[in-house]
Structure 1
């Protein structure tokens, strides 16, 4: 997949990728080439552990990871380990995430753990930290026709069980994405 030069790079944290709905929304938008998604093998490993925990071990996490790797073969960041030691964060276990973002020249780090990536630590690297809700809403707003087409296609893929537009909006809101839910509600005719 080739991306236009004006599309930005976003490193996505494991905590965001673990939830199926957030992951589907983000990867649908990335699949529409609205941004370049990035993660590391370590992030995907953490994602697998989190998915297993969420689903009580019932999900085939290796299959989900493999599907992501096939869909976005250029997304996996390597060579970031050299940056880890020089990075200071409130939680040392998150240093690899910022290191991967630095290595891939990400403009945005998407995470649910905003407090773990304070601006004074990420700003010097030129990396903005955003919640998944803010990031998804911003991406939709910047590219409305393409974004809504990607979301419409995502909705068509969700057939176990099939969800109505109203059900998707309720799920999006229930998963902590109120800005995104509002955009979907206001523009239902374009994707629902």
Structure 2
């Protein structure tokens, strides 16, 4: 479908939120875009997930985080970007030097977008020179759904139906998205709530 022409590298900060992650993975599974990440991104995601679980009092937080990452890598084995270390030899001068690996992986895989919540860490002028853009998960998801709503809505409905603890109806799901800051996504989906 669309995956043949658009590649998005997803940063750890967009993978930590369960709702952002579920929506991104559901749309990637439906072949709206080619999903990419690196081992560094997955390691950061795993650490952040483990920390969240521990903060919530889950003693098995490390195991839960490992399980989530294992499920992601099993579902999307083609998403892994590697062999980009040579691109790190010439830093780009990002506001946060620890984000250099994100751009290096995006360049290596010829991504068109970096999906991240840290937009200010990826200056548009610098990314433009690399034919990249940075988008928040909310912007990216909303635009992806709007691209072909007739195909995206069933993918999101399937995602909702997979939820077991707790099960959710469409209005519950949209409220959860909104509570987690996915305002643009909710705006696009509200008109389709009867089909989700």
Shorter-chain TM-score above 0.5: yes
Which deviates more, 141-150 or 108-117? 141-150
Q: Alpha carbon RMSD of aligned pairs, Å?
A: 1.3
Unaligned segments of structure 2, at least 5 residues = none
Picking from 165, 183, 186, the partner of 1:181 is 186
Deviation of the 1:190 alpha carbon: 2.5
Unaligned ranges ≥5, structure 1: none
Counterparts of residues 10-49 of structure 1 (less than 5 Å): 10-49=8-47
CA 1:177–1:80: 2 relative to 1, 3 Å: same
| Number of the residue aligned with 1:65 | 69
CA–CA separation in structure 2 for the residues paired with 1:146 and 1:130? 22
CA contact (8 A) 1:18 1:47 kept: yes
Structure 1 CA distance, aligned partners of 2:76 and 2:169?
28
Kindly provide the CA deviation profile for residues 115-162 of structure 1, in whole angstroms up to 9, marking residues without a partner as x: 000112211110011010100000000021111010000000011110
Q: Does 1:120 align with 2:125?
A: yes
Deviates more, 1:41-50 or 1:86-95: 86-95
Q: Could you tell me which residue of structure 1 aligns to residue 161 of structure 2? A: 156
Alignment match, 2:53 = 55
Structure 1 match to 2:88: 84
The Cα of 1:163 is off from its aligned counterpart by: 1.1
Checking the alignment, whether the CA contact within 8 Å between 1:16 and 1:110 is kept in structure 2 is: yes
1:170 aligns with 2:175: yes
The match for 2:152 among 147, 152, 173 is 147
CA distance, structure 2, for counterparts of residue 165 and residue 123 of structure 1: 38
Distance 1:19 1:5, change over 3 A: closer
What TM-score, normalized to structure 1? 0.94
Q: Partner residue of 1:74? A: 78
Structure 1 segments (4+ residues) deviating >3 Å: 3-7
Alignment counterpart, residue 131 of structure 1, candidates 111, 130, 136? 136
> How many residues of Structure 1 are paired with residues of Structure 2 in the alignment?
189
Partner-residue secondary structure (3-state), 1:74: helix
Report the CA distance shift for 1:5/1:116 in structure 2 as closer, same or farther (over 3 A).
Answer: closer
- TM-score, normalised to structure 2, is 0.92
- Paired residues of 1:88 and 1:121 also in contact (CA < 8 A): no
